Amino acid sequence: MTQQNRLFDDLSRLMTNAVGVAQGARDEAETAFKGVIDRWLADRDFVTREEFEAVREMAVKARTENAELRAMIDDLKRPDHGATPPG
């Protein structure tokens, strides 16, 4: 019986070590793959999410300012602009 328990203990240790090695290989492969993808994306001049959001916010602000300026110009173009109200 002791011989059988020892066999199971050895087999258990072997399986635990094999799982650890497999996990390490998986982590290394994942890191390498992410590095390849990051380099590929950098070579394509893609923007990051943060850069995209910053430019998007600037565009929204510029459109709002343009609409306000357009309204002011339209107001200045009106023929009755600057005329004093009757009174």
Span 69-82, average pLDDT? 88
Single pTM value for the model: 0.45
Span 14-35, average pLDDT? 91
8 vs 64, higher pLDDT: 64
Window from 2-6, 22-26, 28-32, 61-65 with minimum mean pLDDT? 2-6
Average pLDDT score over the chain? 87
pLDDT of residue 6: 86
3-state SS, the chain, equals CHHHHHHHHHHHHHHHHHHHHHHHHHHHHHHHHHHHHHHHHHHCCCCCHHHHHHHHHHHHHHHHHHHHHHHHHHHHHCCCCCCCCCC
pLDDT of residue 25: 92
